[in-house]
Amino acid sequence: MVTLNDRISCHTPNQDGTTTQEYFINMGPQHPSTHGVLRLILKMDGETVNDIIPVLGYIHRGIEKKAEAVGYRQQVHLTDRLDYLCALMNNWAVSAAIEKALNLEVNDRIQTVRTIIAELQRIQSHQLWWGVFGMDLGAFTPFLYGFRDREKITEIFEKTMGARLTMNYFQPGGMMYDIHPDFVKDIKEFIKYFRPILKEYEDLFSGNIIVQERLKNVGIIDAQTALAYGATGPVLRASGMPLDLRKMQPYGAYSKVNFTVPVGTVGDSWDRYQVRIQEMYQSLLIIEQLIDNIPDGPHMTMKYAAKIKPPAGRYYTQMETARGIFGTFFVSDGNDRPYRMHFRTPNFNNLWSILKMAPGGRVADLVAILSSIDLVVPDMDR
C-alpha cells in the first residue's frame, strides 16, 4: 500500500543544477490558521508554496460507522458534530431526509420557522467566519467584533432551543419545541442592530487598503475547475457560478421569498470574501420577509415514536448550508437503524480546490485562501 512517506519521498527535489532547495514544512495539525487539526504538508521554495499535500483524519470520529449503530432519531444529534457552525442546517438536512423517506409532509409553520432559523444560522456562521478571517490576516479586533455579534444570535437560539452550539433542535417531523414567545421580537431587534454593524464591518475591514492588497487577485480559480474539484457554496459562487440550491431546488420556505444570489466575477479571495458579506445582507432580507407572517400550526407533525422505520430503499437529500451542499445519503433495509449512512459534507469537498488556488503564492496567501474557503475540520473528517 502507498503511504504518506512514499508520497513525500517521490517529491523530494533532486540536487542537479538547482540553486535553491525546495523543502517540506508541516502546516498543522497544530497551526493557528488551519482552524483545527487539518494538516497541510507544504512543498516550499523560500516563501513560495509550490505544492500542497493535505493530510486528513486527525479528528476522524467514525460518525458514519456510529450512525449505523443508532436509530434514525439519533442521527440528528450526530450531525450537530459535523459542521458545528451550521448545526441547525445539518439537523434540517437529516430531518428532511428522514421525512422524505417516510413520505411525511411538514406544515407551513415548521417550514417557515426552519427557514428563518437556517438563515439566522447562516448569518451567525458568516459572522464567525468574518472574525476569523480578520484574525488570519493579522487583525485581531474583527475577531472579537464578529464574536460579539454572533453572541446576539446565539442568545436567540438559546432561548428557543436551550443550547448554544449543538442544538439538536430540528427533529424528523418538526421541531423539538415550539419557538419561544420572544423569538419574533428578538429577531427584529437583531436585524435593526445588525444592519449598521454590517456597514461598520465594511468600513473597518473590507475597505482597508491592506485587506484589498492581500485579497485581490490571490488564489484565482475558475468556475468549471472549482466545480470539478468539488467546490460548492460561496467558494463556487465566488467563481461566478450561481449554484444555490435555495434557488435551484427550493426547499423550506425559500420559494416564497425574493432574494438574489451574490456571485463573484474574478474568483479570487476577495470575491469569496465579498460574496459572504453580501450573503449576510440577503439573509437579513429573507428573514425580514418571513418573520412577520409565521403561519400557525403545531410544531411537530409526527407522533412521537422511539423507533422510526423508513421503507427499504436508498435516499438522498441535499441542502445548502453556509459552506455549500450538505447531502444525506442513507440506505434503509426496513430496520429501525440505517443500514448505511453517508454524509456529503461541504468542507470535505471544498478543501481540494486549494490545490488549484494556492500553488505559486506565498504562505501568507495560503493562509488567506484557507480562510476564504472557510473550513470546519470536523466536517471534513467526519
Partner 1 sequence: MNQESNMSANSKTDQSASALAQVPIENAKRWPDLNYFNKIIYGASSLAKGMKITFGYLINTKTVVTQQYPENRETLILADRVRANLIMKHNENGYHDCTSCHICEGVCPNASIHVVDRSEPTVSKKELGYFVWRLDSCTFCNLCVMACPFSCLEMTGQFESSTYDQSLLVYNLNQYSGATQNNLAKLADDQARTSAIKAISPYEGPVALEGYHLAGIPKEFLPQKSDAKTSQAREGVNP
Partner 2 sequence: MKSLSFYIHNLYQNQQWLDFILYLGLGLILTLSLMSVVALVLVYAERKIAAHFQCRLGPMRVGWHGTLQTVADALKLLLKEDLIPKAADRFLFALAPFLTVMAALLSLSVLPFSLSATLSNMNIGLLFLSAISGYGVLGILIGGWASNNKWSLLGAMRAGAQLISYELSMTLSLLSIVVLSGSLNLNEIIASQAQGWWIWRAHLVGFISFVIYIISSTAETNRTPFDMAEGESELTAGFHTEYSGMRFAFFFLSEYVNLFIVSAIGSILFLGGWMPLHIGEWESFNALMDFVPGPIWFLLKTGALIFLSMWFRWTFPRLRVDQLMRFEWKFLLPLGLINLFLSSIIALGGFYFFP
Partner 3 sequence: MSQTIESFKLLLENAFSEPLTYLEASQLLTIKVQENQLFATLKTLKETLKFDALIDHAGVDWPNENKIELIYILFSTHHNQQIMVSADIDRNQPTPPSVSSLWAIAEWQEREVFDLLGVTYKNHPDLRRLFLEDNWVGSPLRKDYKDDFILERPW
Contact 142, 134 (CB under 8 A): yes
- Near partner 3 by CB under 8 A: residue from 344, 370, 373, 374: 344
Q: What's the closest the beta carbon of residue 64 comes to partner 2, in angstroms?
A: 32
| 317 contributes a contact to partner 3 by CB under 8 A | yes
Nearest residue to 354 (alpha-carbon basis) of 72, 34, 25: 34
Choose between 99 and 186: whose C-beta lies nearer to partner 3.
Answer: 99
Contact 211, 218 (CB under 8 A): no
- Near partner 2 by CB under 8 A: residue from 57, 62, 138, 207: 138
Cα angle value 36/38/21 (rounded, 5°)? 130
Nearest residue to 118 (alpha-carbon basis) of 139, 91, 81: 91
- Near partner 1 by CB under 8 A: residue from 183, 205, 326, 348: 205
Choose between 211 and 287: whose C-beta lies nearer to partner 2.
Answer: 211
Cα distance between residue 139 and residue 142, in whole Å: 7
| 306 contributes a contact to partner 3 by CB under 8 A | no
Strand 23-27 relative to strand 39-45: parallel, antiparallel, unpaired?
Answer: antiparallel
**H or E stretch at 332:** strand 324-332
* Residues ≥6 apart with Cβ < 8 Å to 197: 145, 149
Cα distance between residue 235 and residue 215, in whole Å: 14
- Near partner 2 by CB under 8 A: residue from 144, 165, 228, 305: 144
Compose the 209-248 pattern: x for residues touching partner 3 by CB under 8 A, - for all others: ---------------xx-xxxx-x--------x-x----x
Compose the 131-170 pattern: x for residues touching partner 1 by CB under 8 A, - for all others: ----------x------x--x---x--xxxxxx--x-x--
- In residues, how long is the chain? 382
Name the amino acid, one letter, at 101.
A
Cα distance between residue 370 and residue 367, in whole Å: 5
78 binds, among partner 2, partner 1, partner 3, none (CB under 5 to 8 A by kind): partner 1
163 binds, among partner 1, partner 3, partner 2, none (CB under 5 to 8 A by kind): partner 1
Contact 253, 289 (CB under 8 A): no
Q: What's the closest the beta carbon of residue 77 comes to partner 3, in angstroms?
A: 16
Q: What's the closest the beta carbon of residue 146 comes to partner 2, in angstroms?
A: 11
Judged by CB under 8 A, the chain residues 332 through 371 that form the site for partner 2 are 362-365, 367
Judged by CB under 8 A, the chain residues 217 through 276 that form the site for partner 2 are none
- Near partner 3 by CB under 8 A: residue from 185, 313, 335, 360: 313
Taking CA atoms, 58 is separated from 39, 54, 63, 243, in Å, by 8, 11, 14, 31
Cα angle value 155/156/160 (rounded, 5°)? 110
Nearest residue to 290 (alpha-carbon basis) of 119, 92, 105: 119
140 binds, among partner 2, partner 1, partner 3, none (CB under 5 to 8 A by kind): partner 2
| 33 contributes a contact to partner 2 by CB under 8 A | yes
- Near partner 3 by CB under 8 A: residue from 11, 31, 100, 299: 100
Q: How many residues bind partner 3 (CB under 8 A)?
A: 46
| 208 contributes a contact to partner 2 by CB under 8 A | yes
Contact 83, 345 (CB under 8 A): yes
| 342 contributes a contact to partner 1 by CB under 8 A | no
Q: What's the closest the beta carbon of residue 214 comes to partner 2, in angstroms?
A: 6
Binding interface with partner 2 (CB under 8 A): 23, 25, 31-33, 47, 134-141, 144-145, 148, 204-205, 208, 210-211, 213-214, 362-365, 367
